[in-house]
Amino acid sequence: MTITPADRQAIFTRRNLFGATAAGLAATSLGACATSGGDDEADEVTVGDDAENPFGVDGSAPLDVVIFDGGFGQEYAVAHQAMYNEAFPDAEITSLATQQIGETQQPRFAEGKPADVLDNSGASQLPMDSLVSDGELAELTPLLDAPSYDDPEVTVGDTLREGVLKAGTFNGKVYALNYVFNAWTIWYDAKLFRDQGWTPPTTWDEMIALCPTIQAAGIAPWTYAGQHPVYLYDMYLMLAGRHGGVQVLKDIDNLVADAWSNPSLVAAAEALRNLGDSGYLLSGSAGIDHIQSQTAFNNNEAAFLPCGSWLPNEQKAIAPEGFEYAPMGVPYLEGSVQPGLISAGGDEPFVVPKNATNLAGAYEYLRIMLSQEGSQIFSDAVSAATIVKGVELENETARMTDALVQNPEDMFQPQFRYWYKKMDDEMRPALGQLINAETTAQEFLDRMQSVADEVAADDTIEKFTHED
């Protein structure tokens, strides 16, 4: 059943919201984004002539910030809030760091009292398509048009790396600032490979040929977070995109008729299924979560792990001594036309709710985050690249990841999982069943084409497209 904006308001009125059980609320937050609907009379922020305070922030107004306390932690956010207080000493900052974004923030949207700044990330993030369609988010054009924190002659938008705003853009309007420059890659232990004399594979055939050798050393070739098949998304989609070119993936996002029958998607599905069917997955991978899969990887129980570029930072406190995290692109299939394609760009979406109490302060907080100092703080704290140009990477692993994303034409982030929750909900279990050879490649593709057709035909679902 598709829930319309009108349905959402009926489900979560102020009266029945607080009568819901905590368990019921949590379950709903993972399903549909039940919101109050944006306030058309909400204040708007414009860019003024004062380069030091372009949004006209009231220095005594409080600021409410919510951070996803996941792979990047909250250390950087504490430092950013200190920078904000340096500029506005009288501003009281309320900060929450949590992994329960949906469970804690959906009631606030429903009540019409959201945070000022929200890091809408993690497994229970609020669906971006619903937030945008329901008018719950402020556009970030004023932020991008404002003078940058470091140079009033340069706008904030001009300080950003190419392509990083695409993930937060819906029909030409930017609603999310994806703050980290993330790349989804395949990870391996460079020390293990060096000690064993193994060469990291660049092609799928090379990887398959290496798998029996890895097994002979008592190590499973692959593992993944079976409870969260989203970690397989970019492995599968980049395998297909590298083979047929980026247009294959754009057609999926754009709901092009019969897009899922593309031969490159077929070849990628067959390759992924054969990986599991050949016994190259760590036993029990289908039932483990991301922590367990990463622990197995750290213990050299598996040689390859698909994950994002936050992995080394997330594991730095528990990684075994001598473990060397190294990223590589998805090994490409024979006949691939765009073998350098990689899922990379802006990630970790920060949004400003349209009904934020301190809208000007929210924009200014993001402007501080995008300063050279604010960006360097983030990069140093989490060993990852930010979306701001000119920030030096001190961590070797971060530099290795950055080396994979030097060609802007080879960077593309598939968006249908953000644009269409119904497709996302279908894709996750379908991928898990595919890689475990519980379904055929054709059954997987038919399943995804069916849900794509349902979304395309549903007039209550707002449609989005890539603008080339």
Options 3.40.50.300, 3.30.930.10, 3.40.190.10, 3.40.50.2300; CATH of 42-182+345-394? 3.40.190.10
Return the pLDDT at 466.
Answer: 83
- DSSP code of 408? G
> Which CATH code fits 185-341+419-457?
3.40.190.10
> Count H helices, E strands: the chain?
20, 12
> Edge to edge, what strands does the sheet with 93-98 contain?
93-98, 63-68, 117-119, 344-351, 177-183, 385-386
State the Cα–Cα distance between residues 385 and 387, nearest whole angstrom: 7
The pTM (predicted TM-score) of the whole model is: 0.74
DSSP line for 235-247: HHHHHHHHHH-TH
Element (H, E) at 130: helix 128-133
Tell me the two tokens of residue 187. Answer: 């990870």
Please tell me the total number of residues recorded for the chain in this structure.
468
- The answer to whether the CB of 129 falls within 8 A of the CB of 419 is yes
Tell me the two tokens of residue 366. Answer: 């993001």
- Domain residue spans of the chain: 42-182+345-394, 185-341+419-457
Among 444, 450, 440, residue whose Cα is nearest residue 430: 444
For the chain, 468 residues long, give each residue's pLDDT as a single digit of tens: 233 333 333 323 322 322 332 333 333 333 334 444 444 455 688 999 999 999 999 999 999 999 999 878 899 999 999 999 999 999 999 999 999 999 999 999 999 999 999 999 988 899 998 999 999 999 999 999 999 999 999 999 999 988 889 889 998 899 999 998 888 999 999 999 999 999 999 999 999 999 999 999 999 999 999 999 989 999 999 999 999 999 999 999 999 999 999 999 999 999 999 999 999 999 999 999 999 999 999 999 999 999 988 888 788 888 899 999 999 999 999 999 999 999 988 889 999 999 999 999 999 999 999 999 999 999 888 888 889 999 988 878 888 888 888 888 898 989 999 889 999 999 999 999 999 999 999 999 999 999 999 999 999 998 988 876
- The answer to whether the CB of 84 falls within 8 A of the CB of 91 is yes
Q: Are strands 117-119 and 63-68 parallel, antiparallel or unpaired?
A: parallel
The reply to whether 185-341+419-457 shares the fold of 42-182+345-394 is yes
Return the pLDDT at 402.
Answer: 84
213: left (phi over 0), alpha (psi -120 to 50) or beta: alpha
Return the pLDDT at 368.
Answer: 98
